[in-house]
Structure 1
Amino acid sequence: MAEIRNCPSCGEFFNYTGIRDVCYKCSQKEEEMYQIVYRFLRKRENRAATVDRIVEATGVDKELLFKWVRKGRLHPAVFPNLGYPCDNCGRLTKKGKLCESCVTELKSDLRTFEAAKEFRESIEKSERLTYLADKEKNKK
């Protein structure tokens, strides 16, 4: 079901169907820019171009370039210096929302948290057992 939205690029109203996130006119402009970028990257000497170099040479907006990489229109496997910013630290990543460094750090923090939680639970369990043992001694 379509809904009326404002185009984030030009502000015009358009029917959002879930396919495009901008209006038809802006979508056409984006497609023209994509073709320019793709033609630039198809040249052998430009395949290893960085994001900044592509922006400088083609005039495309960085965010638009990131959007195409995120959606899989430009593949980092083919163009090795492409990526999009990590949601946590801003470094370029090629898959997911977080870069490898942030994923590793997050996993480490989770392991530390889990170990601390297990330690607290073992302490509480031993305190309960000690309390119950002391209670049994006092009954006699």
Structure 2
Amino acid sequence: MNVKNCSRCGKIYNYDGFRVCPTCRRDDEEDFQKVREYLYDSPGANIQEVSEKTEVDSKKIIDFLRGGRLEIGEGSNLILECESCGTSIRTGRFCDKCASGIQRELGAVVDAARSKLDLSKRDEKFRLADKYGKKR
């Protein structure tokens, strides 16, 4: 059994691939639903207003934006910046240009690793040996 401490509340839980325990994840989902419902009713609201009305910390709302769960509306005064180049974005961590570049770089690394693996497999040739171990 793989157990860890929750990175948020510190409780021990059966590790299931997430850094936070199921209770904290459930709390996060409830907060997300509150924010989503408020934004549905008040689409032009800023983070401060959403945070005050929903009682959800503004940092958590920004995490929802960075995670791609929320998107900044057109004409909003909120600025979210690409973590690579600093350009304004509406959701996520990277702008489309930087995300494409990262994806290309990752693809090149994967392709290089695959070709290296293929080459090493090709080098493994089997030869017949006679009963004395001499290769023919």
- Normalising TM by the smaller chain, what interval? 0.5 to 0.7
The one of 63, 77, 91 equivalent to 1:67 is 63
The question of whether the paired residues in 2 share the 8 Å contact of 1:69 and 1:82 is answered with: no
Query: Number of residues paired by the alignment?
Result: 97
Q: Structure 1 pair 96/54, CA: closer, same or farther in 2 (3 Å)? A: closer
Larger helix fraction of residues: 1
The question of whether the paired residues in 2 share the 8 Å contact of 1:47 and 1:78 is answered with: no
The question of whether the paired residues in 1 share the 8 Å contact of 2:67 and 2:93 is answered with: no
| Cα offset, 1:13, TM superposition | 1.9
| Cα offset, 1:33, TM superposition | 1.1
Alignment partner of 1:49 is 2:45: yes
Amino acid at match of 1:21: R
TM-score for the superposition, normalised by structure 2: 0.53
Alignment partner of 1:9 is 2:5: no
Gaps of 5+ in 1: 100-140
Q: Structure 1 pair 17/28, CA: closer, same or farther in 2 (3 Å)? A: same
Gaps of 5+ in 2: 96-136
The question of whether the paired residues in 2 share the 8 Å contact of 1:3 and 1:15 is answered with: yes
| Cα offset, 1:63, TM superposition | 1.7
Deviations 1:36-93 (A, max 9, x none): 11110001xx2111111111111101221111111111112479455557769xxx85
Alignment partner of 1:28 is 2:26: yes
Q: Structure 1 pair 31/98, CA: closer, same or farther in 2 (3 Å)? A: closer
After superposition, the CA RMSD in angstroms is 3.5
TM-score for the superposition, normalised by structure 1: 0.51
| Cα offset, 1:4, TM superposition | 3.5
Deviations 1:4-36 (A, max 9, x none): 432122111234444x33110111111111111
Counterpart CA distance in 1 for 2:69 and 2:34 is 13
